[in-house]
Structure 1
Amino acid sequence: MAKTIEELKAEFHQTYDYFPGVARLIDREHKILAANIKAEKAGFKEGMICAKIGTPESHRECKFEKMFETGKAQTDHAIPDKIRGWYPVAGFPDVCIHFGLPLPEDF
């Protein structure tokens, strides 16, 4: 039996709530379905449109669309002290996980 979106959201929170960076479960329309604790503290709330949060510069070189086009995980290092990533969720072709992970100073 296929998982429901509510089950997926519960699994997301179980896995990502204590992740050391921001993480969001996002649908193809850029709507945030779930956000971990760090993301919520940064202003990313369920129901918001991810692409409208922050400055336009913070979304520069976003690989969200490329991830959906290719079906393959994408990462970048467009922000000097952070790695960003987008990856598909098995069984949910219109959903991805997007994270930002700060790099340690000695990286």
Structure 2
Amino acid sequence: MLIHACRDILAVNQRAKELGIPTGIKCHSLYPSERACPGCLANKMLKSGQTARKGSVSVQNGRFLNGYWIPVQGVKEVYVHFGNDITDFVKPELLAE
């Protein structure tokens, strides 16, 4: 997803479309939440200008997700955010946490 600092989804790729993610909504409304998700690293990434990564277990389905927030070079306050399901590559003891 291409997201503005105010958390508006500006654009999505084909996979996000297939998952039913529309443009023009707040990204945190997908979870649903009225404000940024607790584990969101967008503010950190926007402040530092450096890519941020976080791995976490999804409370929705128990899968291990590897999330990324990547600044768009030359475009202020816009970033790319995506996550990969890497459950099949994670040690079982990490999933138990």
Whether 2:39 is the aligned partner of 1:89: answer no
Could you tell me how far apart the structure 1 residues matched to 2:8 and 2:77 are? 11
Residue number in structure 1 paired with 2:42: 64
Q: Tell me the TM-score normalized by structure 2.
A: 0.75
SS at match of 1:92: coil
Sort the Cα spacing of 1:105 and 1:89 in 2 relative to 1 into closer, same or farther, 3 A: same
2:9 to 21, 28, 32: 32
Amino acid in structure 1 at the alignment position of 2:55: H
Runs of 4+ in 1 over 4 A off after TM superposition: none
Which segment drifts farther, 90-99 or 75-84?
75-84
Could you tell me how far apart the structure 2 residues matched to 1:44 and 1:55 are? 13
| Deviation per residue, 1:33-60 (Å, 9 max, x gap) | 111122122232111111111244xx33
| Deviation per residue, 1:57-101 (Å, 9 max, x gap) | xx3311011111111110000225210000100110110000111
Root-mean-square deviation (CA, aligned residues, Å) is 1.9
Amino acid in structure 1 at the alignment position of 2:31: G
Amino acid in structure 2 at the alignment position of 1:40: K
Unaligned runs of 5+ in 2: 58-62, 91-97
**Aligned residue pairs, count:** 83
Could you tell me how far apart the structure 2 residues matched to 1:67 and 1:105 are? 27
Sort the Cα spacing of 1:55 and 1:47 in 2 relative to 1 into closer, same or farther, 3 A: closer
Which is helix-richer, 1 or 2? 1
